[in-house]
Copies of this chain bind each other. A is one copy, B any other.
Amino acid sequence: MNIGDVATLSGLPAKTIRYYEDIGLVRPPRGPNGYRRFRESDLHKLNFLGRARSLGFSIEECRGLLALYEDEGRASADVKRIARDHLREIDRKIDELAEMRRTLGELVEACSGDHRPNCPILTDLARMPKPRC
């Protein structure tokens, strides 16, 4: 399979697949014309990467997961630890965004949104920062 084929099948852009090769996540052999020739196993890895990335795992986490995926002697505990750490990170981000959402939601509510200059959003933004706790 050429890169275009695996791009279609995996849903990843060809550019991204080349990038993944660059950083050593996949290593497709080359044909005599210099084209990358992807095997089924390469396609599996690309699917794996696409899915892992879509769940928010970083490239380095993906590298670790991929190594475990390929390691028949792995312990599922190792996989679970990576996933649980990532889950905590997701929770942290959700909390952070929820806090922004709360604050900003209040401000938007309070703003009349008319032709006049007076605006509680700007008033809030111009606040002094709390001296660090």
Residue in B55, B74, B101 whose beta carbon sits within 8 Å of that of A90 in the complex = B101
Which chain A residues in 43-63 approach chain B with CB under 8 Å?
44, 47-48, 50-52, 54-56
Residue pair B94, A97 in contact (C-beta under 8 Å): yes
Shortest beta-carbon distance from A44 to chain B in Å: 6
Given known pairs A111-B80, A113-B80, the reply for A105 and B126 (CB within 8 Å) is no
Residue pair B115, A87 in contact (C-beta under 8 Å): no
Residue in B73, B83, B103, B111 whose beta carbon sits within 8 Å of that of A121 in the complex = B83
Residue pair B79, A122 in contact (C-beta under 8 Å): yes
Given known pairs A74-B117, A76-B116, A114-B77, the reply for A56 and B108 (CB within 8 Å) is no
**What 1/0 flags go to A1-31 for Cβ under 8 Å of B?**
0000000001100000000000000000000
Task: Give me the interface of A with B, judged by CB distance under 8 Å.
Answer: 10-11, 44, 47-48, 50-52, 54-56, 65, 68-69, 71-77, 79-81, 83-84, 86-87, 90-91, 93-94, 97-98, 100-101, 103-105, 107-108, 111-119, 121-122, 124-129, 132
